[in-house]
A and B are shown apart, each in its own frame.
Chain A
Amino acid sequence: MVLDQDLVRHLSESSVSVELQTEDMTLNIGPQHPSTHGVLRLVARVDGERAFDVQPVIGYMHRGYEKLSEVRTYPQITTLVNRIDWVAGYANEVPFIVAAEKLLGIEVPERAQFIRLILTEMARISSHLIFMASYPLELGAATPLFFALRERERVLDLLEGVTGGRFHPNFNRIGGVKPAYGSGSSTRKVIQDLPAGFLAETRDAMDKVMEAVDELELLVADNEIILARTKGIGILPPEVAAAYGVSGPNIRASGVKFDLRKVEDYLPYHLFDFEIPVGENGDCWDRWHVRLLEIRQSVRIVQQAIDGIPSGPLQAKVPKVIKVPQGETYVRAENPKGEMGYYLVSNGNQGPYRLKIRSASFSNISILPWILEGVLVPDIIAIMGSLDFVLGDVDR
Chain B
Amino acid sequence: MDFLTSLFSNFWVSLTGKLLLVALMIPLIGMVIGYAEMKLSAKMQARVGPYFAGGRWGWAQLIADGVKFFQKEDLIPDEADRPVFKIAPVLVLVSTVAILVIIPFGPGLIFRDLEVGIFFALAISSLSTVGVLMAGWSSGNKYSLMGGLRAAGQLIAYELPLVLAVIGSVMLAGTMSMSGIVEAQISAGYPYVVLQFIGFGIFMIAALAELSRIPFDMPIAESELVMGYLTEYSGFRFLFFFLAEFANMFSLSAIAVTLFLGGYWLPGIPEDVLAYAGPVILLAKTFLLVFTMIWFRWTFPRFREDQLQSLAWKWLIPLALANIILTGAFKVYL
Q: Which residues of A contact B (CB under 8 A)?
A: 25, 27-28, 33-35, 49, 136-143, 145-147, 150, 219, 223, 225-226, 228-229, 376-379, 381
Contact = CB atoms under 8 A, between A and B. Distances in A.
A49 B226 CA distance: 16
Interface in B297-334: 298-307
A381 B224 contact: yes
A140 B299 CA distance: 9
A138 B225 CA distance: 11
Contacts of B214: 140-141
Nearest to B153: A49
5 contacts: A27-B146, A140-B302, A142-B41, A145-B45, A229-B301
Interface string B216-254: 011001111010000000000000000000000000000
Given A140-B215, A141-B299, A378-B224, A150 B305 contact: no
A225 B302 contact: yes
A223 B300 contact: yes
B301 A223 contact: yes
Interface in B127-166: 142-143, 146, 150
A223 B146 CA distance: 27
B21 interface: no
B72 interface: no
Q: Which of A139, A145, A229 has the most CB of B within 10 A?
A: A139
Contacts of B298: 141-143
A150 B142 CA distance: 36
A226 B302 CA distance: 8
B47 A140 contact: no
Interface in B264-304: 298-304
Contact of A225 (B146, B221, B303, B305): B303
B46 interface: yes
Nearest to B217: A140
A34 B304 contact: no
A35 B226 CA distance: 9
A33 B226 contact: yes
Contacts of A379: 304
Nearest to B298: A143
Given A140-B214, A377-B224, 13 more contacts: A25-B142, A33-B226, A35-B223, A140-B222, A142-B45, A146-B47, A147-B45, A147-B46, A225-B300, A225-B302, A228-B307, A376-B304, A377-B146
B44 interface: yes
Contacts of A143: 44-45, 298-299
User: What are the 7 A-B residue pairs with the smallest beta carbon separation, nearest first?
Assistant: A140-B302, A140-B301, A146-B45, A139-B301, A141-B301, A138-B223, A35-B223
B276 to A, nearest CB: 39
Contacts of A228: 303-304, 307
Contacts of B306: 49, 376
Nearest to B311: A228
A276 to B, nearest CB: 28
A354 B223 CA distance: 40
Contacts of B223: 34-35, 137-140, 381
B146 A136 contact: no
Contacts of A223: 300-301
Nearest to A27: B142
Nearest to A48: B149
Contact of A378 (B143, B299, B304): B304
A202 B150 CA distance: 48
Contacts of A141: 214, 298-301
B176 to A, nearest CB: 35
A395 B156 CA distance: 44
Contacts of A142: 41, 45, 298
A146 B298 CA distance: 11
A46 B46 CA distance: 40
Contacts of B215: 140, 225
Contact of A226 (B41, B44, B301): B301
B298 to A, nearest CB: 5
Nearest to B42: A146
A143 B45 CA distance: 6
Nearest to A137: B223
Contact of B305 (A25, A140, A376): A376
Contacts of B301: 136, 139-141, 223, 225-226, 229
Contacts of A28: 142
Contacts of B305: 49, 376, 378
Contacts of A145: 45
